[in-house]
A and B are shown apart, each in its own frame.
Chain A
Amino acid sequence: MKTLFAQSVPGRTGCLPPKPEHAAADMLPAGLLRKSAPRLPELSELDVVRHFTNLSRQNYGVDGNFYPLGSCTMKYNAKFAEYVASLPGFCNLHPLMAQLRGTSQMTQGALECIWEMERLLCEISGMDAYTLQPMAGAHGEFTGATLIAAYHRDKGNNKTKIICPDSAHGTNPASATLAGFEVVNIASRDGIIDPEALEAALSEDVAALMMTCPNTLGLFETHLPRIVEKLRRVDALLYYDGANMNAILGKMRVGDVGFDVVHWNLHKTLGTPHGGGGPGAGPVGVCSRLEPFLPVGRVARQADGNFYLDYDHPKSIGYIAPFYGNFGIMLRAYAYVLRLGGEGLTRVAEHAVLNANYLKKLVEHFLVVPFGRICAHEFVSSAPEGLRALDIAKGLLDRGYHAPTIYFPLIVKECLMAEPTETESKQTLDAYAAALEEIVKQGLSDPRSLHDAPHTTPVRRLDETAAARNMVLTEDM
C-alpha cells in the first residue's frame, strides 16, 4: 500500500483547528523558528481514515484469528474493559492534579482504583505490597532487579550477580544487567532448573535468581522448594517473572512459596490488549522486606478515608515512571479482575492448562513433543525431521492462523511453542490441530511447497537481510 506520505497532496487539509489570530513569526524571534513546516502528510479526514482502515485489514488480531503465540498469552480482550478505560472521568484527568493541595481531592476515584488494584494483586499473588508504576513487563523486571539491589545495599550485602536459567526470556538477563548485575546462566536438566547446577553457581555474591514458573517450556519447576532453601542459605532473593502467571491463578500464590519479588504482565494475564506490541503494564509486588524500597509516590489512605500520594519513603528507589504507571491499562485489568472474581480467575488457569494439554495431545503424533509430562498453559514441540519450524509457521498463516512462537526457547531445536489460552474453544483447537497436521503432511511429501508459503497474506516472505543491510527506516532514507 502507498504510504500516507506518498498520498499527500500539497494544500489539502484534514482536521484543521480554528485559525489563530497571530502567526508564530509574529510571536517569536525569527532565529528561534524552523525554516520550513514539518513535511507531515496533507490529507483529508477520509483519506486518513481509509488509509488506516485498509492498513488494519493487513493485520491478524485475536478478534479475527486464533493466535497460539507461546509466552504471549493472546487471550480475548473483553470489550467492556475498553469502555471502562475510555470514561472521560479517567481519560481527561491530569496526573499532576493528584500531587497538589486542592486538586488532589479531584482525583480520589483514580487513586482509589490504584489502591484497590494493589490490594487485589497482593491477594492474588500472596505478596505484601505493589507498585503499579512499571510501564511494561521488562520495565517491571528492571524495577524488581533495582529493588533487589537496593535491598542488599541497605543490608550491607555485597552482591554482584543474578542467576538466570537458560530457558529464561531474553529480557531477564538484559534487565538484570541494566540494574548493574553480572548475569550467570545455568543450564536446565529435563527442561527445568537443575538444583546441582544452581548449587554450583551459588555463592555469597549472588543477589537473586530470576525464575519463570512454569517456565518457557511450559514445565512447572518442581524443585522449587529446594531452590528456595538453597537461595536462603546465601541470602539471595527469588524473583518471579510473571509472564506465565496465567498458569497458576488460584492454584499457587508466589508469595506463599518463597518468591520475594514478582512482576505481572497485565497485557498477558489480565486480558488487556497487546496493541500491536504495546502499551503494556508491569506491576511489581514485593514481600514486606522489600517494601521500603518501592518507587514513589505511593498511594496511601488517611484516617478520614481520603487517598493521597506519599513521597516520604527515604529508602525508595525513586521514580520508575513519570506518574503512576500506565493507568489506562491498569483500569482495564482492574475491571477484568472485578468481573471474574476469585472463582473466575481460578477457572482461567484451569482452562488455560486444559487447553494446552488438550492441544498437546492432538499434535503429539505428528510433531516432536520433547517433554511428555503434563504441561502448564503452554508447551513446546519441534518440527519433525526434515521440516523447519519457520516453514510450518508460514503454512499456518496461509490458513488464517497466527503462528506459534518459533525458535524460542533457544534450547529446543526447531521449536514451536504454543499457548492456546483459556478463551479458545474446543472447536478452534480441533480445527487448528487438523490444519497443522495437514501442513506437516504436505511439508513431508513436498517440502518445496512449504518453502513458498505463505501465498494468501498481503505480502509473502520478506527479505529481512536486505532490510538490515539497506536500512530504509523512513520514507526519506
Chain B
Amino acid sequence: MPFVPHTEDEVRQMLDVIGVATPDDLFADITPEMRPRSFNLPHGQSEMEVCGRLEALAAANRTDVVSFLGAGFYNHHIPKAVDAVTSRSEFYTAYTPYQPECSQGTLQAIFEFQTAVARLMDMPCANASVYDGGTALFESVMMAVRQTRRHKIVVDESVNPIWRRMLATHTRHLPVELVTVPQCVGRSDFAALKSALDDACAAVVVQNPNFFGAIEDYTELFAHAKARKALSILAVYPVMQAVLKTPGEMGADIAVADGQALGMPLSFGGPYLGIMTCRKELIRQFPGRIAGRTTDVDGKTGYVLTLQAREQHIRRAKATSNICSNQALCALRSLVYMALLGPQGLTRVAELGMERARYAVERLTALPGVSLLHDAPYGNETALRLPLPAAEVVERLAERGYVAGFPAGRYYSGMDDVLLLACTEKNTREQIGMLAEMVGGLL
C-alpha cells in the first residue's frame, strides 16, 4: 500500500502495545449503523498508471494556442529559476511558521515579500497575502467598513466583473451595501462616482488599468473620498505597476492586486495570490498573516508572525477575518520572480506588453469597422469594437489555434461587439500580424 510504511509484523507489535486485536478495533466508536453504506471507489493504481492517466488528460487540453486572452490573468514568461527555488521541499513541505525558530526561511521570505509588494505599490504596509485578487478586494472592503463604521461601498463597474461577483457573494450576509456606478464607454464615470460618494460611504473601489485596459489618474477622486472620510481602495495589475503612477502617489488607503502575473502559471484558475497593502493607520484592520522583524534572546535578527491578536485562533468570532492561511508558496514564487527580474526587468515586461498591444491596435484598427472602445491611455490590454460579435470572432479563430481575446459581452450587456485584447512579452509581432489577417478575413 503506498505511503504507509508498516509491515504486518510492525502492525502486530503496535496493536499489542495499544492492547487491541485488529486495526478496526480502533474504530469501535463508529458503530455498525454508522459504517459506510457504500465505498465504491476504483482500485489503487501504480504511479506509472496514474501519471499516464493524468498525462492523457493534460494532453486533452490545447495549450499550443496563440493567445491574446487576459482579462486580469496573464500568460507571462516565468524564469526557470522560479520553479527551481520554489520546488525546494524545505519550502513546500513546511507548515505555517508557528514555531519561528525552525521556520526562518518561510518567515524571512514573507517579510521580503511584504517589502517587495509594499515598494511595488508604494504603500507602507503589506500582509503575507490572501487567496486571490477577489478575496483581497473583499477583505479591503471589510477593512473599510470596520475602520469607518459605515456600510456603503461605491464600486466602479469597470472593476473586474469576476471580482465584483465574488464581492457580492462574500458581502451578501454582512451589513454592506454595494453601490455599482456604471462605467462609461469602458472608462470610469468620475462625475457619477463623485456624486455617489457621500458622507455615508465607507469606501470607493476602482481599478487601474480597469477591466477595459483604461489607465486613469484617481488622485482627485481619492481626495474627494478623503474629504468625506471614506477610504479609497485601488486594485491594480502588478506588472503594469512597474511603470504606472502608484497607489501611494494617488493617495489610496488600500491597494490590492491579484499576484498571478508575478510568476504564477495560469493553471486553469489557481492557485494564485491576493496582494494587500495599506496605510499604516489601517494595519490593525488587516486580515490574515503578517510577518514582523524582531530579535532573539541573543540579540540576533529574526522574524515572527505578528499582530496575531487580530486573528481567528485568538479572537474567534470577533476576528478581523476567518482567514488562517496565506498563499505562502505563491507569495514566495512572486518574490523570487520580482527578485530575478528586478526593477529593470519588470519595467521591460510592462513595456514589452505595451508596445505589442500598440502594434496589435495599429494592425487591427486598420481593418474596416474596427476601432478602440475608449480614448483612454492603455497598457498591455485594451478593448476594441468590432463590426461583428466578439464571441463569434473568438469561436472562428479558435479553429485556427488562435484565442483572439475576451468577449466583453460575457459580463457586460450591450458590449457583444467588444473584444478585450491582451499582449504580453510572449506575443510576437508575427503572431499579431497573423491575428490581424485572420480577423480581417472574417470581415
Q: Cα distance A105–B301 when bound, in Å? A: 54
> Does the CB pair B346–A468 fall under 8 Å?
no
Known: A102-B399, A170-B314, A251-B35. A38 touches B93 (CB 8 A): no
Give 8 nearest A-B pairs by CB, closest first: A180-B173, A323-B269, A89-B58, A109-B60, A341-B44, A102-B398, A275-B329, A342-B41
Q: From B92, B342, B344, give the contact of A273 (CB < 8 A).
A: B92
Q: Is B182 an interface residue (CB 8 A)?
A: no
Q: Cα distance A391–B15 when bound, in Å? A: 31
Q: Is A383 an interface residue (CB 8 A)?
A: no
**Binding-face segment, A59-67, A193-201, A234-242, A436-444:** A59-67
> Does the CB pair A72–B95 fall under 8 Å?
yes
Residues in A with CB closer than 8 Å to B267 are 85, 90-91, 93, 327-328
Measured between C-beta atoms, what is the minimum distance from A262 to chain B in Å?
Answer: 14
Interface set, chain B 57-71, CB cutoff 8 A to A: 57-63, 65, 67, 69, 71
Q: List 22 A-B contacts (CB under 8 A).
A: A15-B341, A34-B246, A39-B119, A52-B85, A52-B332, A74-B95, A82-B87, A94-B73, A106-B398, A171-B312, A177-B319, A252-B30, A276-B106, A279-B271, A322-B269, A337-B41, A339-B2, A348-B4, A357-B20, A397-B102, A473-B125, A476-B115
Q: Cα distance A348–B326 when bound, in Å? A: 27
Q: From A98, A177, A273, give the contact of B329 (CB < 8 A).
A: A273
> Does the CB pair A256–B341 fall under 8 Å?
no
> Does the CB pair A18–B87 fall under 8 Å?
no
Interface set, chain A 82-106, CB cutoff 8 A to B: 82-103, 105-106
Q: Cα distance A25–B360 when bound, in Å? A: 19
Known: A84-B54, A318-B169. A52 touches B88 (CB 8 A): yes
Q: Is B362 an interface residue (CB 8 A)?
A: no
Q: Cα distance A253–B81 when bound, in Å? A: 43
> Does the CB pair A353–B271 fall under 8 Å?
no
> Does the CB pair B1–A343 fall under 8 Å?
yes
Q: Cα distance A109–B60 when bound, in Å? A: 5
Q: Which residue of B lies closest to A373 (CB)?
A: B29
Q: From A22, A220, A462, give the contact of B295 (CB < 8 A).
A: A462
Measured between C-beta atoms, what is the minimum distance from B346 to chain A in Å?
Answer: 7
Q: Is A292 an interface residue (CB 8 A)?
A: no
Q: Is A434 an interface residue (CB 8 A)?
A: no
Residues in B with CB closer than 8 Å to A477 are 124-125
Q: From B114, B292, B316, B342, give the contact of A173 (CB < 8 A).
A: B316
> Does the CB pair B30–A48 fall under 8 Å?
no
Measured between C-beta atoms, what is the minimum distance from B324 to chain A in Å?
Answer: 5
Q: Cα distance A84–B72 when bound, in Å? A: 26
Measured between C-beta atoms, what is the minimum distance from B277 to chain A in Å?
Answer: 10
Q: Is A110 an interface residue (CB 8 A)?
A: yes
> Does the CB pair A426–B292 fall under 8 Å?
no
Known: A462-B100, A471-B306. A250 touches B36 (CB 8 A): yes
Residues in B with CB closer than 8 Å to A112 are 57, 60
Q: Is A165 an interface residue (CB 8 A)?
A: no
> Does the CB pair A278–B329 fall under 8 Å?
yes
Q: From A43, A60, A103, A462, give the contact of B94 (CB < 8 A).
A: A60
Q: Which residue of B lies closest to A25 (CB)?
A: B243
Residues in A with CB closer than 8 Å to B254 are none
Residues in B with CB closer than 8 Å to A179 are 173
Q: Is B135 an interface residue (CB 8 A)?
A: yes
Measured between C-beta atoms, what is the minimum distance from B67 to chain A in Å?
Answer: 6
> Does the CB pair A89–B95 fall under 8 Å?
no
Q: Is A475 an interface residue (CB 8 A)?
A: yes
Please encode chain B, from 314 to 333, with 1 for each CB lying within 8 Å of some chain A CB and 0 for all others.
11111101111111111010
> Does the CB pair B108–A454 fall under 8 Å?
no
> Does the CB pair A64–B90 fall under 8 Å?
yes
Please encode chain B, from 338 to 379, with 1 for each CB lying within 8 Å of some chain A CB and 0 for all others.
111111111111111011001000000000000000000101
> Does the CB pair A141–B355 fall under 8 Å?
no
Residues in A with CB closer than 8 Å to B100 are 459, 462
Q: Cα distance A405–B3 when bound, in Å? A: 23
Residues in B with CB closer than 8 Å to A204 are none
Interface set, chain A 397-441, CB cutoff 8 A to B: 397, 402-403, 405, 408, 422-426
Q: Which residue of A lies closest to B3 (CB)?
A: A423
Please encode chain A, from 5 to 24, with 1 for each CB lying within 8 Å of some chain B CB and 0 for all others.
10000001111111111111
Known: A277-B96, A343-B43, A473-B283. A459 touches B300 (CB 8 A): yes
Known: A13-B342, A146-B172, A463-B294. A278 touches B18 (CB 8 A): no
> Does the CB pair B126–A474 fall under 8 Å?
yes
Q: From A97, A171, A458, give the contact of B69 (CB < 8 A).
A: A97
> Does the CB pair B294–A467 fall under 8 Å?
yes
> Does the CB pair B30–A251 fall under 8 Å?
yes
Q: From A3, A55, A74, A405, give the contact of B105 (CB < 8 A).
A: A55
Residues in B with CB closer than 8 Å to A328 are 265, 267-268, 270-271
Known: A40-B338, A327-B270, A358-B18. A460 touches B297 (CB 8 A): yes
Measured between C-beta atoms, what is the minimum distance from A470 to chain B in Å?
Answer: 7
Q: Is A287 an interface residue (CB 8 A)?
A: no
Residues in A with CB closer than 8 Å to B59 are 89, 109
> Does the CB pair B132–A322 fall under 8 Å?
yes
Measured between C-beta atoms, what is the minimum distance from B71 to chain A in Å?
Answer: 6
Q: Is B99 an interface residue (CB 8 A)?
A: yes
